[in-house]
Amino acid sequence: MNKIKILHMYADMLDLYGDSGNMEIISYRCKMRGIECEIHKYSIDSEMPDFSAYDLIYIGGGADLEQQHISEDLVKCREGIETAYKNGTFLFLICGGYQLMGKYYRDADGVEIPGLGLFDYYTIAEPDRRKRCIGNVVIRTEICGKSVDVAGFENHGGQTHGVETPLGEVLYGHGNRTKSSHEGYFEKNVIATYMHGPCLAKNPEISDYIICYCLNRNSGTAVELTALDDTLEKDCRQVMIDRLLKN
Amino acid sequence: MNSILIIIGKITVAVLRLFKRNAGNLPGIVLWHLTRGKCCKMFKVDCPIIAITGTNGKTSVTNCIAQLFEQNGKKIIINKEGNNLDTGICSLLLRHCTIGGKVDADYLIFETDESHVPVVYSQLKLETLVVLNFFRDQLDRNGEMETLIQKINGFCKTFEGNLILNGDDPNTARLGRANEKNSNVKYFHAQPYAFATKTIFEASEGRFCPFCGEPLEYEYYQYSHIGKFTCNKCGFGNYSPYITAENIDLEKSVFTADGHTYSPKLNSIYNIYNMTAVAAAAKLYDIPEKVTDNVISNYTINNGRMETFMLGDRKATLNLAKNPVGANMTLRVMNEMQTEKELLFVLNDNIADGLDVSWIWDINFSVFDRVTRVVTSGTRAYDIAVRIKCSGYPAEKITVRPDLDEAVAELAKTEGRKFVIANYTAVQPTRSALKRYSDSHGGNNE
């Protein structure tokens, strides 16, 4: 069946720098191809969902305060999310969502928020709140079977350590830590990144990687996606990459 | 020591003027370094200071409050050029003080950047603080919004002066609880207008009670998260308003406050809130009703805020949008008009805009009604094009023209009503481009 089921977690609390736009983009790209895209929302006090019933779980980023608010609730979802992930549900995680799937997040005041521990990385916020990794970012990723340069916007105080399989190599900007060489975390069914913007706005290859994964997971066969006209998106990205890398 | 600093500052002002440079900020920066960040401390101010802060509407409200006093015969000092950081205020005072640092005026009226309220008014004694609203704006420059509110909240904890707050904005109204001992907290409020909604219409903040974390209940939303809210658990939002805007009619452009009917020239719900804040200040300072009426009824602005241009025989309305709320406002005005129209969106990402443009994803373009064509321009022309496309608007109706003159020509080539949205650093170049088009193709600006 040509359908993707998505669970968007904490949409009302974790939505920085256009993060909810990622859902708009995924559903737009599905709609253009006649793929049904059903998005459910989960937040604090929602009824506990069957996480494994979803093809994609999406979590955006938020300020420290919001992250503290949701972390207790997120711990309750641990088993469900872990099982879903092991069953092949795709996890798409931005910024705070990325951090909270690791071992822990220690905020600028030294308060430790436990993560779900799905992955081995951990994050320590820069104690000086003014020293944040802020700005445009360009990374080179190989996830789409070929080398693609993608662009986004980062703004994080958190320094993420212990990533073995990053999403890509940093060409411009900071990445996982101040001036680091790599950005994000990647597994075949996990994309975790600090890229806002929203992340998918000018990176159609990443959107299609996620959509393609979700579809193939359902059908069990290798479905090819219909190509869309991405001229605007690619021009948009090229203008930024040219500007950033040529200076 | 103070006198030496002031002399240095005054010399800096004089030298800059000699070379015909704007002395709006640099003298303050010089003194900021010399005083290790306390550049406002050396002034002796005996008169009351009124500060206006918030994300949107600061400039309008500051100008109007200044006019209240000016038209009432008082001598005022105001930071008109929008130099609203500590260094800007310092530069302004340098021009108006004696060598001893004494500032001679009846009232000082300062638009103050949200993040600089604690900085400036830990050095100068503040009598009244007006807080208009808090929206997401240039987050990457100011840090996250919560941090910003916390900063001002910290200041309010020990502040005992008048606090005039937008009671319909939970982000702002919460400051009223910062200092329980302060009996001078006053809220302004507005009754629902014709386009108020029962459910939230535009992306927003402040959905949860800042005191107990419960979701806030809204009787109505005026726009974004501004509306009549209460927390059912702790009672946050239950206050008696100091002043209320009632009988708001945007078609006739009238509203009533404290029994008096005003007819502002700018007829948007945003302006009604701004003018209600002005009316609150007028009430507090016993300004004669005639003066207040004159200020509120005549206030208008020609700086890209709902400004009209004629492109040949085609009417274009330009509006500044620094954030989603501002952009959604123009979309609202567009939709409230029952004809076909075209939109030019100019988006820059210069430093003053905040380098990040992702706020455009919080604009609700899905409400587009009878918009027949979109042109995009600015340094991030493609970003806004992609955003509008992904809202479901047909890509073939979007034209990208990064060059502004080309964009205006593209917009003007078809018939019909035009709207132009430009962000902060884009607004002046856009005005210039629109004027150039009018000059070469006819059409007098109104």
Q: Could A153 and B400 be called an inter-chain contact, meaning their C-beta atoms sit closer than 8 Å?
A: no
Residue A38: HSE in the Cβ half-sphere, 13 Å Cα cutoff = 8
Tell me whether residue A214 is one of the annotated catalytic residues.
no
| Cα diameter, chain A | 51
Q: Mean of the per-residue pLDDT values for chain B?
A: 90
Nearest to A161 by CA among A81, A115, A105: A105
Give mean pLDDT, residues A203-215.
96
Measure CB to CB from residue A12 to each of B207, B356, B389 and give the nearest one.
B207
Give mean pLDDT, residues B88-97.
92
Quick one: residue A48, left, alpha or beta (phi over 0 = left, psi -120 to 50 = alpha)?
beta
Amino acid sitting at position A35: I
Q: What is the pLDDT of residues A86-145, one digit of tens each?
A: 999 999 999 999 999 999 999 888 889 899 999 999 999 988 877 889 999 999 999 988
Q: Give the total number of structural domains in chain A.
A: 1
Q: What is the pLDDT of residues B352-393, one digit of tens each?
A: 777 889 999 999 998 898 999 999 999 999 999 999 999 999
Whole-number Å distance between alpha carbons of B163 and A97: 38
Neighbours of B417 (CB within 10 A): 16
| More confident site: A92 or B207 | A92
Residue B248: pLDDT band (50, 70, 90) is very high
Whole-number Å distance between alpha carbons of B296 and B75: 20
Q: Is the pLDDT of residue B146 over 90?
A: no
Q: Is the pLDDT of residue A79 over 70?
A: yes
Give mean pLDDT, residues A59-83.
89
pLDDT value at residue B62: 96
CB of B212 within 8 Å of a chain A CB? The answer is: no
pLDDT value at residue A169: 98
Report ipTM for this prediction: 0.95
pLDDT value at residue B142: 44
Which residues of A fall below an 8 Å CB-CB distance to B?
A: 12-13, 15-18, 20-21, 24-25, 28, 31, 63-66, 69, 129, 132, 134-136, 153, 155, 196-198, 201-202, 229, 232-233, 235-236, 239
CATH number at residue A226: 3.40.50.880
Nearest CA in chain B to A230: B386
Beta-carbon contacts of A117 under 8 Å, excluding residues fewer than 6 positions away, are A102, A103
N- to C-terminal Cα distance for chain B? 53
Nearest CA in chain A to B138: A17
Q: Could B386 and A129 be called an inter-chain contact, meaning their C-beta atoms sit closer than 8 Å?
A: no
Whole-number Å distance between alpha carbons of B400 and B411: 11
Residue B203: pLDDT band (50, 70, 90) is low
Q: Containing domain of residue A113, as a range?
A: 3-245
Q: Mean of the per-residue pLDDT values for chain A?
A: 93
Whole-number Å distance between alpha carbons of B316 and B445: 10
Beta-carbon contacts of B229 under 8 Å, excluding residues fewer than 6 positions away, are B168, B170, B216, B217, B218, B219, B237
**What pTM was estimated for this model as a whole?**
0.74
Neighbours of B337 (CB within 10 A): 14
Q: Out of A8, A156, A174, A196, which one is annotated catalytic?
A: A196
